Amino acid sequence: MRVTPPSTVSRTALSGRLRAIATTTAAAALTLTLAPGVAAAQETGAGTVDGSSRAAEQVSVRVKVATRPAVRVAVVRRAWPSRVLATQDVAVDGNDLVEVLRDGREVAGPRKRVRQGDTVRLVVVEKRRTTQRVRVPARVVEVPTTKLAPGRRKVVREGRAGVQRVVVVRTFHNGERATYRVASRGWVREPRAKRVLVGRRPLSVPGADGLNWGALANCESSGNPRAVNPAGYYGLYQFNVATWRSVGGSGMPHHASAGEQTFRAKLLYKSRGRSPWPHCGRLL
């Protein structure tokens, strides 16, 4: 199976190879009749005790090359199928398929040594490698926010489609496509996701929704959701990490959105009242 650039591989070239093989086989078949002594030099058992008698023993087999009609030839009994083709001057690519059919079934291993009535079949295998550029659509990332009216959408970053280089190998048996596989993939340009803000209602915590959370945030952090206090307090409401996690937060408090920080603060208020904010809690 040769891997050949697409520019040098075509059905015409393959047909030409089949014609050449068939012509050689037909010519060889005219001279290789069932006369004694043909292909005796190929008999691998000639060195055994009864090798001399086996060298003269012949069997009739059929040789079928690709899609061409089969021809009947005489060969040494128990010769390997590759030797049979060689005696017919049939050119075999190193990775073509050489099969032996016996009683309608393919045989393998040591059983491939030919017997009377076998069919030696050559399947011409050819590979065609092509490189394609495939467009990969940009995905859309939706980010919920309470800064927009519920249902309203705002594009904050346009997306860009990517381009992938895909190497495909198609395998042909006797000129017909047999297999298809992707050999490799690589990015020519990676896609960039489209980012869209989607308005939603603030997360509700009954009993805490009507309080003045804006005033509390201004007092605690000057309204800065990324605020960091060196003493270990973070975000709009100056959570420490332990308290943040106690109300279901993950990561660092100041890395969460302002909406999530407010939701977690409401949960904290529901469980502990104003006590987590001894100085600013009075503004709620």
Burial class (CB in 10 A: 0-12, 13-18, 19+), 173: middle
pLDDT in tens, 148-171: 888 899 999 999 999 999 999 999
With bands split at pLDDT 50, 70 and 90, how would you rate the model's confidence at 17?
A: low
Average pLDDT value over all residues in the chain: 84
State which H helix or E strand residue 246 sits in.
helix 241-246
pLDDT score at 190: 96
pLDDT score at 207: 87
pLDDT score at 147: 80
Given a cut of 50, whether residue 75 has pLDDT beyond it is yes
Residue type, 173: H
Q: Which two tokens stand for residue 262?
A: 């407010």
pLDDT in tens, 258-283: 888 999 999 999 999 999 999 999 99
pLDDT score at 200: 82
pLDDT score at 174: 94
Q: Which two tokens stand for residue 98?
A: 């050489």
> Is the pTM above the cut of 0.85?
no
Given a cut of 80, whether residue 11 has pLDDT beyond it is no
Q: Is 240 or 33 the better-scoring residue by pLDDT? A: 240
State which H helix or E strand residue 76 sits in.
strand 71-76
Q: What is the DSSP string of 100-157?
A: EEETTEEE-GGGGS--TT-EEEEE-EEEEEEEEEEEEPPPEEEEEESSS-TT-EEEEE
Nearest CA to 193 among 136, 144, 243, 239? 136
pLDDT score at 136: 97
Average pLDDT rounded to a whole number, residues 70-94: 92
pLDDT in tens, 34-65: 333 344 334 444 444 454 455 458 999 999 99
pLDDT in tens, 33-42: 333 334 433 4
Given a cut of 90, whether residue 1 has pLDDT beyond it is no
Residue type, 131: T
Domains and CATH numbers, the chain: 6-123 (2.170.130), 127-198 (2.20.230.10), 203-283 (1.10.530.10)
pLDDT in tens, 170-218: 999 999 999 999 999 999 999 999 999 999 887 788 889 889 999 999 9
